[in-house]
Every structure is written in structure tokens, then in C-alpha cells.
Amino acid sequence: MAKVKSLDDLKKIKEEFLSKEELQKNGDKSLGIVQIKVAMATCGIASGAKKTMDYLINELDNRAIDAVVTQTGCMGYCYAEPTIEVTLPGKEPVVFGYVDEKRAGDIIEKYIQGGELVGDVIPVNYETIEEHNIE
């Protein structure tokens, strides 16, 4: 990896990453990839997020679904751990709570393969720094 020498170098890394991500998200549905983030902070792991993640990876593989499963930090929904965020190609991300192995199976079958919302969907209840404007 070449060292970052300027803000432009930094922006290049950003753009490369974003364009790669964009391709996965908004590509034609047949090309797009399902993105799954599993909240893997201490709290999530203690509630079984590691098992959920392993299950997701194996099961998606078994069903030959093209997906990227990554780990992320705490989403803040301790009451509903383990939590996962699923982004279907061309769709908004959806956060599911209480995802044990059984629910993970339901989510793959009904939401990822069938497009039907199942289980406990956690609504977005915050603004991001991009969304918040000076009043």
C-alpha cells in the first residue's frame, strides 16, 4: 500500500471503495450482491452473533446466494441482539433484531429469497450527520 501523501490520495481511496460498493448495491438485480452486516461488538458476540454469522455464511453458501457477510460494531440495539442489517440490491438497508440461527434461516428464505419482511424489523430512529441541517 502506497502511503497517503495528500487529501487527494485519501479521496482516491474513498472513491475507489464507494464505486466498488455502488456496483454491488445498485447493479442490475441479477448482478447485485446481497450485503449483510452482523453487529459484532462484545455485546452482540455475547448474545450469539458469532453463531448467527457462521450460520449465515454457511447457509448462503449452501443455497448458492451471492452475498457479502461482514462484521460491524454495535448498532446500539442491545435489547434485540443479535442484530443484522440486510441490504438487497437496489433496496434500502433493513435492520433485523433477535436474529438467532432459526430467524437467520427465516430471513434468508423469506426476505432475501422472497422479498417478504419477516420477524422483528427495527425502525431507523436517528438522524445521520449528513441528514441533520442547521435549523
Partner 1 sequence: MAKDKKQIRIALRNCGFINPENIDEYIARDGYQALGKALEMTPEEVIDEIKKSGLRGRGGGGFPTGLKWELTRKVEAEQKYVVCNADEGDPGAFMDRSILEGDPHTVLEAMAINGYCTGASKGLIYIRAEYPLAIERLKIAIGQAREYGLLGDKIFGKDFSFDIELRYGAGAFVCGEETALIHSMEGLRGEPTVKPPFPSESGYKGAPTNVNNVETYANIPVILLKGSGWFASIGTEKSKGTKVFALAGKVNNVGLIEVPMGTTLREVIFDIGGGIKSGKKFKAVQTGGPSGGCLTEKHLDIPIDYDNLIASGSMMGSGGMIVMDEDDCMVSVAKFYLDFTVEESCGKCAPCRLGNKRLYEILDTITQGKGTEDDLFKLRNLGNVIKDTSLCGLGQTSPNPVLSTMENFYDEYLAHVKDHKCPAGQCKALMSYIINPDACVGCTLCARVCPVDAISGEKKMPHVIDQSICIKCGACFEKCKFGAIFIE
Q: Report d(CA 6, CA 25) in Å as an integer.
A: 29
Q: How far is the CB of 44 from partner 1 (least distance, A)?
A: 9
| Chain positions contacting partner 1, by CB under 8 A | 1, 3-7, 10-11, 13-14, 17-18, 21, 37, 39, 41-43, 45, 70-80, 85, 124-129, 132, 134-135
**Min separation Cβ 123 and partner 1, Å:** 9
Nearer to partner 1, 62 or 133 (CB): 133
The answer to whether 111 touches 84, Cβ cutoff 8 Å, is no
Q: Which residue has the cell 448458492?
A: 64
DSSP 94: E
Of 64 and 79, which CB lies nearer to partner 1 in the complex structure?
Answer: 79
User: In terms of Cα–Cα distance, which of 38, 31, 36, 1 is closest to 16?
Assistant: 1
> Is 39 or 86 the residue whose CB approaches partner 1 more closely?
39
**Which residue's CB is nearer to partner 1, number 14 or number 63?**
14
Cell numbers describing residue 23: 456496483
CA distance 117 to 119: 7
In whole angstroms, the minimum distance from the beta carbon of 38 to partner 1 comes to: 10
